[in-house]
Chain A
Amino acid sequence: MTITLQTIIFALLSVVVLGSALFVVTTRNLFHAALMLILSFFGVAGLYVLLESGFFAVAQVLVYIGAISILFIFAVMLTRGMVAMPRVNAQAQLAALVSVLLFVVIVVIVNPTALSIKVLPGASERVLGGIPWQFTTVTTITDSYIKQFGASLVDGSAYLLPFLLAAVLLDIALAGAVQVARERRPAEVLAERELMAAEAAEEQQREQALDTAPETVLAADHH
C-alpha cells in the first residue's frame, strides 16, 4: 500500500471521527459530549467527501449538525440538573466487552489479513457474497449519479412510496414531538389532576364495594 494524500486525509478524518466519538461516550459533562458529537459528524461528512458523495456531505452538515445536534444541545440545557449524574450504569463493563468483541468480529470478517490470517496465494481479491472486498481501484463517476438518485425518488417503480412514507413520518414525528414536549398551562394541568383524582376516588369506592360485598353475602349465609 502506498501512502498518498488521500490516505493521509482518510487517516486524519478517521482519528477525528473515532476520537470524538470515544469522547462522546466517555465524558461526564453532557454539554461537552454534544459538542464532540458535532465534531464527529463533521468527520463523517469529510469521509462522504472522500467517497465523492458531496450531496450527502452537505446533507450531513445540514441535517445532523444543523438540526439534530442543536436538538441535543437544547435537551442537555433543558435537563440542566442532570449534568452531574453518574456517567455509566451497572452493566457498563459488560457493554464495553460486548462492543470490543463485536468490533473484533467485524474486523476479522472484513479484513482477514488484519490479524495475519493467511490468504490463499494468488487470491488478491477475496470475493465474499459477490463483493470483492479488498480492491483499491474504482470506476470514476460523473455528476449524473445525483440526477439518477433524484429521479429514482419520484419514480413509481423505484422509491416513490418510501419517499412519500418518509414525508408522512416526518410530519407525524413533528406533531408528536410538539404534543409530547409541550408545556401545558397550569389550568389545564389542574383540570387533569382533578379528573384523575375523581377517577381514583371512584375506583376506590368500587373496590370498597367489591370488598364488602362478599363479606355481607358470607355474613348473610352465616346467620
Chain B
Amino acid sequence: MEQGILNGIPLHFFLIVAAGLFCIGLYGVLGRKNAIAMLMGVELMLNAVNINLIAFWRYVRPETPAALAFVAFVFVVAAAEAAVGLALIISVYRNTKSVDPEKLDQMKF
C-alpha cells in the first residue's frame, strides 16, 4: 500500500461531499427568493463539479491533464458568469428597486 497524502480516503468520500455541495447549491438556486442568493447557489454547484473533476483526475487518470483543463475552463466560465450575472442584477435593481426574480415578468407574453 502506497503512503500517499490520500492514505485512507477512498474516492467515493470526495464524490459524496461533492454531491452534498451540489445538492445544497441546487436548493439555493431553486428555493431562494433573492437573485444574488441564487447566483451563490450556482457558484456552490460549480465548486462541487470541480471537486469531482479533480478527485477523478487524482485517483483515476493522474497522468493526463484533461480534467485539469476542464477545471480551468470551469473557473473561467464561473468568473464570467458571476461578473455578468451580478451586473445584470445591479442594473435591474437600479431600474425596478427589486432583486426578486418573480417580479421580473415584463417580458411575459
Contacts and interface: CB of A to CB of B under 8 A. Distances in A.
Interface of A: 1-4, 6-7, 10, 14, 17-18, 21-22, 24-25, 30, 33-34, 37, 40-41, 44, 47-48, 50-53, 55-56, 59-60, 63-64, 67-68, 71-72, 74-76, 78-79, 81-82, 85-89, 91-92, 94-96, 98-100, 102-103, 106-107, 110-111, 114, 131, 133-141, 145, 148-149, 152-153, 158-159, 162, 166, 169-170, 172-174, 176-178, 180-181, 183
A110 B12 CA distance: 6
Contacts of A103: 19-20, 23
Contacts of B84: 173, 176-177, 180
Given A7-B9, A56-B54, A40 B44 contact: yes
Contacts of B19: 102-103, 106-107, 110
A37 B40 contact: yes
A89 B102 contact: yes
Interface in B35-91: 36-37, 39-41, 43-44, 47, 50-51, 54-60, 62-65, 68-69, 71-73, 75-84, 86-91
A76 B57 CA distance: 36
Ranked nearest first, the 8 interchain pairs of A and B with the lowest CB-CB distance are: A95-B30, A173-B80, A181-B87, A92-B31, A95-B31, A4-B8, A25-B28, A177-B87
Interface of B: 1-2, 4-17, 19-28, 30-34, 36-37, 39-41, 43-44, 47, 50-51, 54-60, 62-65, 68-69, 71-73, 75-84, 86-91, 93-94, 97-100, 102
Contacts of B94: 183
Contacts of B97: 81
Contact of B86 (A71, A141, A166): A71
Contact of A170 (B11, B23, B80): B80
A44 B47 contact: yes
Nearest to B93: A79
Contacts of A52: 4-6, 58
A78 B4 contact: no
Contacts of B56: 131
Contacts of B43: 37, 64, 68, 72
